[in-house]
């Protein structure tokens, strides 16, 4: 498979994560406006932060494709690209999971 196509397709993962986090954030915001389940705390904003981090990772992958191979310059540049490629999506998913646990934990506590 072509290396350029692989780099381009690798941006689809973080972009999909960003879209999913954005949708969950919008649903949480709507739920908070209808009935404040979290005592008025705007925890849904953390989903937006996580979506932005994941979108930055997708943009950095596309930027890496446009600028050639970004990992050849130096060790420091390689560390930066690894953090952008893998660290930001991992941090975004972690923030999303923590926000979901804090925001939606009342569902698990409901028992009939």
pLDDT digits (tens, 9 = 90+) for 22-56: 999 999 888 877 765 556 678 889 999 999 999 99
**Residue 90: which residues within 8 A CB-CB, separation 6 or more?**
none
Question: Is 95 inside any structural domain?
Answer: yes
Give 87's pLDDT tier (boundaries 50, 70, 90).
Answer: very high
Residue 112 maps to a domain = no
Residue pair 14/90 in contact (Cβ under 8 Å)? The answer is no
**Tally of structural domains, the chain:** 1
- Single out the residue of 107, 94, 112 nearest to residue 38, CA to CA: 107
Q: What is the extent of the structural domain holding 79? A: 3-107
């Amino acid at each position: 498979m072509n290396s350029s196509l692989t780099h381009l397709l690798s941006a689809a993962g973080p972009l999909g994560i960003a879209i999913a986090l954005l949708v969950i954030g919008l649903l949480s915001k709507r739920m908070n406006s209808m009935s404040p389940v979290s005592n008025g705390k705007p925890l849904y904003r953390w989903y937006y932060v996580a979506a932005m981090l994941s979108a930055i990772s997708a943009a950095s992958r596309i930027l890496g494709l446009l600028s050639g191979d970004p990992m050849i310059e130096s060790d420091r540049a390689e560390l930066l690209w690894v953090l952008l490629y893998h660290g930001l999506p991992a941090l975004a998913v972690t923030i999303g999971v923590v926000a979901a646990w804090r925001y939606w934990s009342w569902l698990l506590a409901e028992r009939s």
